[in-house]
Amino acid sequence: MDSAGTHAQQYDRYKRLVDKALDGLVKGQSPRSLYEPLRYVLDAGGKRIRPVVLLLSCEAAGGDATNALHAGVAIEILHNFTLVHDDIMDNAASRRGRKTVHTRWDTNVAILVGDELLAMAYRALLKTKSPQIQEIAKIFTEGVVEVCEGQAYDKEFETRSTVSVTEYLLMIEKKTAKMVAVSAEIGGLVGNGDRPAIQALRRYGEHVGRAFQIQDDLLDIVADEKELGKAVGGDLVEGKKTFLLLEALRTAGGRDKKLLTDIVRNKGGKADLIPEYRRIYFETGAIASARRRVGKDIARAKRELHRLPVSRAQAMLGWFADMLLNRTY
């Protein structure tokens, strides 16, 4: 069995640990109007990237991953809190192939379920046994603050006619990367790592998190539709100001530029122009630029890992970064 095979199996083992812990959280509590939709959210599955990074970081820092399970569960519940509230704000009708909470129930239920998820995230986190619990809870909280700020920027950008690539990068650092960085850092703290190890883990998470988001932007236009599980070009049709759109806007000229500014002006592109948009993305070098950034971030993430002692968990974090780089959906 090759090492990638072993790593993938190991990843699955950690993921199942998290799924099982999540599964035991809600059992017929009252009021049902709150706990039924809450259970629906936690049952939806997902890649569980953040908790697995947290567990691996704990191990890579020299700790026992099982001690970090409560914190891992906390970070996953926190992630689901952001999804439920973001889906309201984004008017999203479905997620992971199922109706969103505010669509299946209503907005009030979704607001309250999100609030309760945030409280449950803290409840799980505070079960962690660590002399550093205050520091851990502080880092977790700064993560929540930045996620809110990131989402505020994201909504603000929707209504603005121009957004710079730098502003976009700040936004995804807050909205996406920070939470992966928090996962890695908290894992390191639970694992009782020394200061350089914890710093390396945090930076690893920042790079991986940012790469993940830009890769997401890329896949929306270069992925195979069947693998992606949804129509290619969805971001364009929705008029999302992604890295690609902002980068292409920066360098396109003439008719191409007009096509792109029309997407912004009309708050959405035309589905039948997607092949055309894609051509512009390639010709302006936006695709190449995004790929360069993702590659660079993954390389940086892996470089940070060299500061940690060699271990299976350290190797797996490297494998995980590569997997994000090579993912096709």
Q: Which residues are at the interface with a copy of itself (CB under 8 A)?
A: 30-31, 33-34, 85, 88-89, 107-108, 111-112, 114-116, 118-120, 122-123, 126, 133-134, 137-138, 141-142, 144-145, 148-149, 151-153, 155-156
CB of 77 to a copy of itself, least distance (A): 12
Is residue 216 within 8 A of residue 328, CB to CB? The reply is no
Residue 268 CB, nearest distance to a copy of itself (Å)?
18
Rounded-to-integer distance, Cα 174 and Cα 151, Å: 8
Tokens 């003439």 belong to which residue? 254
Closer by beta carbon to a copy of itself, 86 or else 256: 86
- DSSP state, residue 272: G
Name the residue among 81, 82, 56 with its Cα closest to residue 69. Answer: 56
* CB 168, min distance to a copy of itself, A: 13
Nearer CB in complex with a copy of itself: 118/214? 118
Tell me whether residue 115 or residue 262 sits nearer to a copy of itself (CB atom).
115
Report whether the peptide linkage leading into residue 31 is cis, meaning its omega lies within 30 degrees of zero.
Answer: yes
**Least Cβ distance, residue 71 to a copy of itself (angstroms):** 13
What are phi and psi for residue 94, nearest 5 degrees?
-140, 155
Q: How far apart are CA 318 and CA 196, in angstroms?
A: 18
Return the residue matching tokens 């851990």: 136
Nearest CB to a copy of itself, comparing residues 145 and 310? 145
Nearer to a copy of itself, 134 or 326 (CB): 134
CB of 80 to a copy of itself, least distance (A): 13
Computed on alpha carbons and rounded to an integer, the radius of gyration of the chain in Å comes to 20
Q: Which DSSP symbol is given to 141?
A: H
Task: Name which of 151 and 215 has its Cβ closer to a copy of itself.
Answer: 151
Least Å distance, CB 234 to a copy of itself, is 21
Close Cβ partners of 64 (under 8 Å, ≥ 6 residues apart): 58, 191
